[in-house]
Amino acid sequence: MNDSQNIHDSTLINEDLAPVPPSKRTWGTWNYAALWISMSLCIPTYTMASSMINNGMSWWQAVLTIFIGNAIVLVPMLLNGHAGAKYGIPFPVFARASFGTKGANIPAMLRAIVACGWFGIQTWIGGESLYHLIRAWNPSLAEIDTSSLFPQALPMVCFGIFWLLNMFIIYKGVESIRKLLVFKAIFLPIAAIALFCWAVIAAKGLGPILREPSKFTDSASFFKFFFPALTAVVGFWATLSLNIPDFTRYSKSQKAHIKGQAIGLPPSMTLFAFVGVVVTSASAIIYGSPEWDPVKLASHFESKVMVTFAMIGIIISTLATNIAANIVSPANDFSNLSPTKINFKTGGYITGIIGVLIFPWKLMSDPNGYIFTWLIAYSSLLGPIGGIMIVDYYFIRKKELAVNELYQHNGRYKFSNGFNPIAIIALLAGILPNVPGFLLNIKIVGADAVPTWINELYHYAWFVGFFVSGFVYWILTKKDR
């Protein structure tokens, strides 16, 4: 690549951040479709769908909400993916065009911290599954208690063992995960079909399941939950909608990643969500109350062999998902802090440590916390970044970047000492409207502290941040020029 030949002696580059030359861009349509099918078939997808049922939606309301949300988030996914496919650059380098060579660390770190949170959640799911596997053969063990700050000792030991297993995979390198990814691609669809069949048979047909009505008595109460739920669905993939250049940089063409993502993301998320809502609705019929956590649901099976099979499958597939989805991107983001000192392994270890510090068992202990505290909260940080990057690339730079200068301290992307103050102002402008609602949601302030309409903005956090930051960035940049 001609414009990158003079950049390899820069401190802003290493092997992981360098542009991928055209000769090494080998991913086709079905590579991207397979990536999204694999990423979508995960426990948090099921959990998100079933938590909507648990909060009062009917099956079709939950499935439709998830389809609409994924169709929406596909748009910024494809828009941000263009730069990766055109220039072969990863997300942290792409962010330098709008935030500056140093300022790019701000969006990179915000995105990385969210990935650390997902890493913690997936690690807790793996540890929880290990505990339930042990409990299947020793029923005298108690249910996991997440009401206090820390669960009991044995569940925490199981969490620690699964965490160490993730760290070992990082130490051995990403190549060691390939067989696990193949296992996951085969096991999870089979497990999902088996779980679906069990739910239909145990509930005596789909009829009783699909007849379960919505618990919302009027339109006002439905939409009060629908819009936060829709924001949560968009927030679910808000991370990947930013760092999708980490994957599209390997694309053979723009058409390959566009078609592949359109084929892979909304359909697979919707289908797996349908399994989640059917099984959760069936559990309400079978057990008297809905069980939104698939790990706990599997632990109810009477057969020890079935429980063991389910838990081993969840453990292995969760391990594969965790490494593929929650290590590769934050490792690049942390590497961007100091390309000459932080490599993939070091970035992976940092991700693992932060993932523990977010107390993932508390996030997963309550469906309201999962949607309102986790998914919506981080979408309020990532929506503004997406708005800024898309406006900068399409409306300001007309899809034209000087790739060599993205790796230079004194090029056009230096701005003011490496930071673009306009991007930082726009970022804050998009985040601030959502702060009061977040503080109210985590009960730091009371409902009467700020006007109701300001608190309500939090329910639309990703959308508010995306459009406010994008508009402010466009106005200030045009004025500055």
Tokens standing for residue 308: 């063991």
Question: How does DSSP classify residue 339?
Answer: T
The rounded distance, in Å, linking the Cα atoms of 423 and 92 is 15
The DSSP call for residue 27 is B
Give a yes or no: residue 425 inside a domain. Answer: no
Q: Are 52 and 61 in contact (CB under 8 A)?
A: yes
CA distance 263 to 305: 36
Tell me if 417 is assigned to some domain: no
> Whose CA is closest to 90, among 327, 387, 332, 331?
332
Convert the pLDDT of each residue in 249-259 to its tens digit. 999 999 999 99
Task: Please write the tens of the pLDDT for every residue from 346-355.
Answer: 888 999 999 9
Mean predicted lDDT score pLDDT of the chain:
86
In a domain, 413, yes or no: no
Whether pLDDT at 288 is above 90: no
State what percent of residues in the chain have pLDDT above 70: 94
Query: Does the residue 355 lie in any domain?
Result: yes
Mean pLDDT of 145-149: 85
Per-residue model confidence (pLDDT) at position 74: 96
The answer to whether position 195 is within a domain reads: yes
Q: With bands split at pLDDT 50, 70 and 90, how would you rate the model's confidence at 4?
A: very low
Cα torsion 390, 391, 392, 396: sign: positive
Span of 166-175, 200-209, 334-343, 418-427 with lowest mean pLDDT? 166-175
Q: What are 293-337's pLDDT values in tens digits?
A: 777 777 777 777 777 777 777 777 778 778 777 887 788 788 888
Residue 146 falls inside a structural domain? yes
Q: Please indicate, yes or no, if residue 439 is contained in any of the structural domains.
A: no
Q: Residue 115 belongs to what domain range?
A: 2-367
pLDDT at 229 over 80: yes
Provide the 10 A C-beta neighbour count for residue 445: 16
For residue 93, the model assigns a pLDDT of 95
Residues 441-458: tens digit of each pLDDT: 877 877 777 788 888 899
- Looking at this protein, which amino acid is placed at residue 475? I
Mean pLDDT, residues 402-416: 94
Report pLDDT for 393: 98
Q: What mean pLDDT do residues 203-213 have? A: 84
Task: Check residue 7 and give its pLDDT.
Answer: 66
pLDDT of residue 176: 57
What DSSP character marks residue 450? S
Domain count, the chain: 1
Q: What is the pLDDT of residue 2?
A: 43
What CATH number should be reported for the domain holding residue 137? 1.10.4160.10
Whether the full predicted model's pTM is greater than 0.75, yes or no, is yes
* Helices assigned H by DSSP within 88-152: 91-99, 105-137
Residue 3 binned pLDDT confidence (cut-offs 50, 70, 90): very low
| DSSP bridge partners of 425 | none
474 domain-assigned: no
Q: What is the pLDDT of residue 178?
A: 56
DSSP assigned state of 412: T
8 Å CB contact between 112 and 331? no
Question: What is the predicted pLDDT for the residue at 1?
Answer: 42
Which of 320, 342, 322 lies closest to 331 in space, CA to CA? 342
Closest CA to 465 of 437, 446, 442: 437
